[in-house]
Every structure is written in structure tokens, then in C-alpha cells.
Structure 1
């Protein structure tokens, strides 16, 4: 009778008949085995384990498959010692398929890891974000802007996923509101999002949309004032007819990490990345075998330090189900083998969707088993120091017209002076004139800001010793291109008492080249200046030679010499007092002045 029930997929009836059979004959080993299988299919795991245990007691050699089945269930029920014993017993049998051998060995690795992890727990004190964020519905996949001023997350109501947002006021999250009618839809699901550090761009997953290529695609939307613009499908090569989801955008906006089941991966779901170039998003690359396994890897999160990567996996050794992991970028530019975040951050259930604050101290995640407000709730917890990323901070700036004080949309470039490489390239907001960049703490940076019709702005700043938890603020006033206006070239560097251009000067020189190329009628004077320390004649000569070095660089790079003059002023034109180190540093400068239009 039970077999007939199973053929007809009548599982409740099958369980009832099988239970009658074992009640009538408790040594009916075949009935216990089938009952264990049916209960397993019905996800009644504890009862299933009990039945398989009875099979093993009644006849240890009844069926070797019982040991693999019960071992898997015991791993997912956190019975690791028992699971390891049963799985090792399974591997003693001959002629086991390669696939099953690999799977049993994988589960044994889970057991060994879990036993050690539970013996050495990590600090974990999750805090519910409260009724302003969480409701009896499901809330999950939270992401925050770099200044932690905005939180965007997914809420699921009546099986429909939409985005909600909350702003932080006086260190408290405000009641979440519907994100936007231009992004959310009543008939499709929106979820698994990533927000740019400045909160201006939203990458998200949209499923079954009419303009999509596959079942789920990745879209991008741009902030427009208080609302959002219409989302745009990222198209090939990022999106395919397969499944693309769970985007995570790097701090510089140039690398997009995402999950796909496209061909060429290692398993079911793999993590890939695409790099933004002059012609758009490039052909995606698989993150490779140090991240992806033959099983599933999902929920990527690239921290703003651009070298610490969090994700979930059921392939690497863990406590059962999907666990959270961290991988770090090595000096050769490759991701290292991941580290499990440990117990009790991870459990025998599924953990996924971890994101971090920019300062790396706190993480956000969702859970449905911590006695919250109902369903999945969003929590935060302090990340143990050894699991944190590199320290980063964020720079907030504004760009305005020097005369009218009106906000300006201008190109903003921030350069790592040690590597002489751009680490941030974007535009200030057209309405507010603001920008936000997340940068690694403890370094020196150059800043260039340019806009057509204006002199470009040059500065350098140091985040050495800056408190990462607070913003570094910059206010920039751009001068229009007018005769007599000057620009201090703050990122032109020379060694003491020398006039050879240092390699760190190249980015600034290229900026000056671009400016002169875009404004072909301008004539400029390049000037060198010193402080008042030392011999006046030597200072005069040094300033003249430094100005000439910049002049020669421009000529060597195809700028007409007829547009350029150079002059050294020595100590005669100070812009600050010479009785402090800071003042003397400001006076030692190279600048240019518009002398004809």
C-alpha cells in the first residue's frame, strides 16, 4: 500500500501506512528505511534521522546508502560527531561512485571543521534593527551607503519583492519607506541590490521583466533628485539568457561582481566579475577555483577597500547549508582561499546576504531564527577584528562656482599618489554639486576637478592619521577661465633643492595637458615659487628651473611653445607666512596663470 501511495505522490498517506507497518513489526527494517526516505523528502528531518538510526541498529549492513543519507541529515542538524562516524563508515564500502565519494568526503570535511569551530566560537551579538526596518513580513539583503546615511533592503509582501529605504537621523534608523515606483513593480520581483558608495547608483536584480534577456537580469538605476531614473538592463555580455543576479559594485564603480549559472563555471551558481571600460562592461571573468566550487557560491560583497571579498557557499568546509566566507586579495592580484567566518556567525542552516559598513566594523545580515518581528529580519553585529577588511574612510566634497556659488557638475578624479593611479573617477552631482569617495585610510591622495569653461582644481590631502569613522570634507570653488586667474599645481613634486619632475607628478601634468588641449586658444605662464629659507639667488634659480621643467614637459607632449612662458619668482610672491612649516610648504609651489584667451 505504501509503495502505491508513493507512486501517486501521496506522501502523507505513505507515511501513515509505513508507520502502521513498523508499529506492527518494529524489526521491519525495509519499512524503516522507506519511511526514513519519505520523511526526508517531506523535510521532516529529525523523524527521518530517527528512522535511519533504527535501520542501522536493526541491520548495520542493510544498505550502504543509509549512511550517506543519514550523515547528510546529521550535518544539517549539527550532529557532527555522529555524522562523521556514519560518513566514514559509508566510505569503507567498495565500488562507490566518484561523485558520491567526493560528496561524502566533502561532508566529512564539514564535520571536522564544525567540531573545531564550535570548540572555538567567535564573538557574535546580533542586534535587531527594530520596528522602523523590520515587520511581520520578510526583510533581507540590506546595503548601506558609505556614510551609513541610507539603508536599502528588500521586503517581501504577498510573495512580491520590492525595495525599501531608511535614512539615519541622530544615529537612529527612521521608518522605512517604499523606494520608488520607477524601480519597484507590482507584478515583478526586485531584489538583491548593491548601492554605490555615494548612493547615486543602484544595481539590482529584476526577474521576468519584459525587457530582460533571461529569467533574472541585472539592472542599473541612477538617482534623480529625490527619486530614481528608469532602470536600464545591463545587456550582454553581463546579462545572458541564463540567470544573473546579486550584483555587488566596487567602490570606484569600475568592477561589478555578480552570480550566474552561465556556461564556463565550476558548479551550479558561480561568482563572476565584469570590468567597465571605454566601450562599456567587459566580458565577465569567473573568479576562479579559490572562490568557486562545484557547488553553489552566492551573495558576493566587495568591500570598499577593494581587496576583501565576502560571499556564501555550500562548497567550502562549513557548518552545513550555506556558510559565510571572506577572501582577501593577495599581492599578485589573486583571491586567496576563503576563510569561514566561524561559529556562531555560521550555523547548520543557511547564512547569506552579508554586507558591511564602509569602516568595516559592523555587518548587516538577515535571519528568521532570532526571535524577531516575524519572518526574516535584518540585524547588525560587530565583526570580530580578524574578519574585518582594511581600514577605509570616505571623502565628502562639494564643487561650486567661485563667483556665483552655484553647484557644478564637474569631473572628479582622486589619485593614489604612491601608486600614481586613479582610485576614484566620477562627476559631482548636477543639483547639489556633491561627491563621495571611499578611500583606503592611511594614504596620501591627489585631487583633480575639472569642468569645461573653468580652470581645473588641484589639491592633495593626507588620510594618514585621519579617524576612519569620520568623513574627510573638501569644499572646492572653481574659477572661470579668465585672464589673470591662477591654478596652484599642488601635485607637481620635486625632491628638495632639485628640479627633476618626480614620477608622482605625471597625473597632474596629464591633467594640465588635457586642459590645454581642450582650450587651444589659451596662453599660460608657468611659474615656480620658493619659501624664504636659503640663498635668494639659489631660490630664484631653483624656481626658474622648476617652472622650466613643467614647460619642457608640455612641449615634449605636443603643446605649442608659443602658448607657453615660464618664470621663476623665488620667494617674492608668498601666499602664506614663512614662519611656520605649513606656511613655507604652501609657498613652495608651481602654478600657472592665464595670460591670453
Structure 2
């Protein structure tokens, strides 16, 4: 905290003033001489030498209050909390009202050492003093809130069994900031070697992470640090932080790199208004690739470091928006991770009630698109130390994190643990596919669209890989999705994934054969919907109809037959009439959207052209369909 550092300096100034005025709690000349020498050494920033002199002063006079406080301050600077607590407490014992700042400093350290009962007592004592600043008062009250929360959290621990993910990833060096693709086939993480941070990747084979390899010389650099990354769910885009680069706009900026085949392209810094002269870092990209969350200390925030977001439009990234007081506090919020459900945000904070320092939190969007009050992930996931850098698998049942407190391979290692049910995101599955030419069987780069049919809104839009034809996108349970795959010169492909009222048992793996436009070729329109025994188009059909209209506009010489089909249930004649009425409804819709009637015909086939077994419900469902067929080019 910046104001605590200021308090630290002001207190040194207070001690120095005592030295100048000769007002000490000790009259021992040798003790005072050592104390004065310590002050001189501190002015020269020779802190280790100053500690030696202060210990000598206390050896001469164990009741020298100023020396105990000065030694506690220096011990705190060196993160020797045990010594700092010892000397602050000694100073209080010798003179309870000597300096009120001691209680705030001592309470802060006791919180960080999980000594919550003692911390609360000292912080409450601090608040009894007159003329303390509003800022320090607020901080003391915040720490008391941490104490109260922590005592209850420890009484009600959550399940936490961290598992080291293995020597394929972890080494004697530091490994941290892990992120995985949605299918958990690839893990990208940061490894620190000789103070240089670079990206490495590991592939999963037979359930085990394989030996990590250097990610790419196009991204990693020998002279600058790369870290705090986010990978798109399909593994095609990497958002990361680069600091002090020649092309940077501030100390740290956000960069994007795109995968090409087995390697990555050169990264490009995001233009303003995202990257600025401030500190922009720790990006997390939403599953649809349209919202980027990141951390910045730019002007307009609520605290030191805040979480912001920007949206991708046809004109680039929008002006960043602060997530506001539902997420950010007057303190620090960092390490955002937006889960692939695009509804659940994990982050770390030292502003919300926690167990000390930075804790991990989760917040969810409500029905109005507002972030709810963050929930602490609980003890012992959180501790009195710093917890950060949490990411989750797409399915949300496991989390990755890094720690140097557990017995690993050395330094920081990467671990997994099962996320408690209460803290899990919405259920998510994924569709993983490959697009090939129906004739040559060669991979194709094609436009991939996944649409939330109820809202008629894209939730994923990208291209299949130009080298392997692959794509991967996440799907949140509870929704009805349409998939459209298209490429110029080919018939488009249509598929439906209905996750309403059901939990997906496994991901969807598909291989899509796109057929060149030829007379006689057909496309099943799997996202044209009618109510049972009716022929009025349901609103969820709009996205598919728009795709068909786009196809007709892009291929102005093509003529098609729209056909309706039913299963074999019910009266044959009625089925034929129903199928024809449904085909005619689609025909009329296209004409209303200015597709020339001369390019369209419609026909109902009833139950006469089944494509699946009518003896099963799944087969009958496939037979109830709308198609179009190329009748002329």
C-alpha cells in the first residue's frame, strides 16, 4: 500500500527528530551512540549495518523504546516478521502510548502472520487515539474486518487437496501463471530462469503433462520479460504482458500473438485506448474473444491497481471501462480470470475481507449484467500470504495455481485442486471440430459461427486453422446453440447443440465435410424450428435463415429447392401437407427478404425420405428436418 509506505517514512522522520532533540527513552550514552549511528547508516540506505547497531543499542539498554521500534521497522522492511512483531510488542510493553503508529504496523504484520486475535486487539487500540487520518482509520477498520472474517473462515474450512502436476512442467526453476486450452490438451505457463521470464508449453498425453518446451522465439525474448498470459479457448490466440519493450507505450503493455501452424506469429501491442503510458497487464480474454479483462493503475480507477475491460468492435477495442466498486476497492485487485462461461470472474484482492495480503475471490454476473459482491474462496485455499494467478479448466471442476509453500520440484511449482462446488462456474462443455473438403479430404480454413439462438447473437466467431482445419469453442449449459460453418465456393454446414435442461455428458467432437457447390448437393438446416404439428417459424430460426439468405446473395446464380420432411408418426397425407407448409414458410421468408422467387422452389416430402431409423426418438428427430438442394448453378 502506498500510504503505508508513506507512514513508514514519516515514522523514521519522527525517530530522527527525537535524535536531533536529544529526547530519548534511554539515558545510556553507549546505547544512544549506537542508535545515532544506526540513523546515519539508514540515511545511506545501509539497512543491514543499521540493524547491527540497533541490536547493540538494545544490548546496552533493553528498555530503549526508540531502538525497538526502529529495529521492528527495519525487520518489517526485510520481511522478518517474527523479529518485527517481537520488537513492536516490546515497545508497547515498555510504553503503551509512545507512538500510535506502532499499533497499526503491528496489527498489519500480525494479520499477515495469521495472528488475528492479537491483531484485532492492537488495531482497536490504534483507533482509540485522537487525530489519526481518515485514510489510516479506514485501513485499520479494513484490517479488523479481515480479522473477523479470518477467525470464522478458519472455523469453516473448505476442501483443498493440491496436486503437483508433475515434472513434465515443474522444475528447479520457478513455474507459474498456468493457462490451459478448453480441451485441456495444452498448458502454457511462465518459467523464470536467471531472472528472465519466458513462456513454455506442455501437451497432455494419456492424462499426463509431457516435458515442457520453449513456446516460440517469435514471442519470447532474451532481454525482456513475458508473462501474465491468457490463451483463447481454441489455443489460436495468446494475450500476454510485455514490459519495457522498445515498442511499448508504458512500463508494461498487453500484446497479442496468433498461432500459425505449429508456431506463433510476431506479437502486436494493442493500440490505445487500451495500452497507454500507464501500467497495463494481466489480460484475460472471454470465450467469445470479444471482451478483454486486464489490470491497470491508469487514472480514473478506484485504487492502486484495478480491473478494467474493453470490448472488440469492428473499429477495434473500445475505451476501457472500470469494473467499478462491485469488483474494485481503494486497494489492489489483480490477476483476473474470466471463465469460459463468460459469467464468472476470479481475481485476487487485498481490499475485500480476507485472511491477509491478497486472497482469491469469485464474482458472478446477475441477470441484469451486473457483477455481484465477490465471495472469498475460503480457507485454506486462501491463507495469510499472497494468493494469485488462479485459472480454471473449462469444465470448472479443477483449478490451476502456483505455490512455493508446498513440497515441489523447487521454487514456485504449478498445482491443481478440485474447486469446491460453491465456487464453481456454470457448467461448460466444448465443441471441437475439423473442417475438410468433402472430395479431397484436405483441411480447409472456414468461417466458424456459433450462435445463441434465443438471443440471435454470436457467442463465437473465428476461422478454422488454415493448416489443420481445426477449431474449438466452448458452450455454456442451459442454452440452445446453432453452429454454421461456411467457405466461399462451398455449401455451408449447419448443426444444433441444445443444452437446455440438460448437463452435457461429454464434449462434442465433429468432423465437417464441406461440399463444393454442385447441382444435387443438399444441406440440412438443423436450426430451422417449428412447434409440434405446426408450420409457423419459431424466432430461434432467424439466425439460420439469415445464413441461408447470405448464401443466396453470395451465389447469385444458384437456384435451390427448399424441402420439408417428417418422421413416420401420424397420418401419411397430413405429414405430407405439414412438410409442404413448412417448406413454403421458409420460401415465403426468403422472398420477403428480397431473394427472387425465380431462384426458389419448395416441396414437401412427408415421411418418404428418411435419413435415420424411425424406430428411435433420436432417428425420428433427425428425420423431422428442413433441407435445401442445389437445382441449378
TM-score band by shorter chain is over 0.9
Aligned match of 2:418: 382
Aligned match of 1:155: 191
Structure 1 residues 444-500: Cα deviation after superposition (integer angstroms, max 9, x where no partner): 322211111011111213346987574211121111111121112111111122111
Is 1:103 the counterpart of 2:162? The answer is no
Is the CA contact (8 Å cut-off) linking 1:523 and 1:563 kept in structure 2? yes
Is 1:136 the counterpart of 2:136? The answer is no
Is 1:38 the counterpart of 2:41? The answer is no
Match of 1:80 among 103, 110, 116: 116
Is 1:559 the counterpart of 2:595? The answer is yes
Cα 1:535–1:467 change in 2 (3 A) is closer
Is 1:330 the counterpart of 2:330? The answer is no
SS at match of 1:516: helix
Deviates more, 1:435-444 or 1:245-254: 435-444
Is the CA contact (8 Å cut-off) linking 1:249 and 1:255 kept in structure 2? yes
- The 1-side partners of 2:570 and 2:387 are apart by 66
- The 1-side partners of 2:357 and 2:622 are apart by 59
Match of 2:339 among 303, 307, 313: 303
State the 4+ residue runs in structure 1 displaced beyond 4 angstroms: 463-469
Aligned match of 1:207: 243
Is 1:505 the counterpart of 2:537? The answer is no
- The 2-side partners of 1:514 and 1:62 are apart by 79
Structure 1 residue 575, shift from structure 2 partner: 3.0
TM-score, normalised to structure 1, is: 0.97
Deviates more, 1:63-72 or 1:567-576: 567-576
Structure 1 residue 442, shift from structure 2 partner: 5.0
Structure 1 segment 531-542 matched on structure 2, within 5 A: 531-542=567-578
Question: Unpaired segments of 5 or more residues in structure 1?
Answer: none
Is 1:363 the counterpart of 2:371? The answer is no
Structure 1 residues 312-346: Cα deviation after superposition (integer angstroms, max 9, x where no partner): 11111111111111111111111111111111111
- The 1-side partners of 2:107 and 2:202 are apart by 44
Is the CA contact (8 Å cut-off) linking 1:359 and 1:468 kept in structure 2? no
- The 2-side partners of 1:449 and 1:170 are apart by 31
How many residues align? The count is 597
- The 1-side partners of 2:518 and 2:214 are apart by 47
SS at match of 1:75: helix
TM-score, normalised to structure 2, is: 0.91
Question: Unpaired segments of 5 or more residues in structure 2?
Answer: 1-35
Structure 1 residue 421, shift from structure 2 partner: 2.9
Deviates more, 1:103-112 or 1:37-46: 37-46
Deviates more, 1:147-156 or 1:573-582: 573-582
Aligned match of 2:154: 118
Structure 1 residues 189-217: Cα deviation after superposition (integer angstroms, max 9, x where no partner): 11111111111111111111122111111
Structure 1 residues 256-310: Cα deviation after superposition (integer angstroms, max 9, x where no partner): 1111111111111111111111122222111111111111111111111111111
SS at match of 2:577: helix
- The 1-side partners of 2:569 and 2:213 are apart by 61
Is the CA contact (8 Å cut-off) linking 2:528 and 2:545 kept in structure 1? yes
Aligned match of 2:12: none
Is 1:314 the counterpart of 2:354? The answer is no
Aligned match of 1:94: 130
Deviates more, 1:563-572 or 1:507-516: 563-572
Is 1:484 the counterpart of 2:520? The answer is yes
Is the CA contact (8 Å cut-off) linking 2:454 and 2:539 kept in structure 1? no
Aligned match of 2:252: 216
Aligned match of 1:55: 91
Root mean square deviation of aligned Cα: 1.7
Structure 1 residues 143-200: Cα deviation after superposition (integer angstroms, max 9, x where no partner): 1111111111101111110011111111111111111111111011111111111111
Structure 1 residues 127-150: Cα deviation after superposition (integer angstroms, max 9, x where no partner): 222222112211110111111111
Is the CA contact (8 Å cut-off) linking 2:295 and 2:335 kept in structure 1? yes
- The 2-side partners of 1:585 and 1:43 are apart by 67
Aligned match of 1:430: 466
Is 1:176 the counterpart of 2:209? The answer is no
SS at match of 2:92: helix
Is 1:493 the counterpart of 2:536? The answer is no
Match of 2:285 among 249, 269, 282: 249
Is the CA contact (8 Å cut-off) linking 1:291 and 1:335 kept in structure 2? yes
Structure 1 residues 571-591: Cα deviation after superposition (integer angstroms, max 9, x where no partner): 333333444333333332221
Is 1:544 the counterpart of 2:576? The answer is no
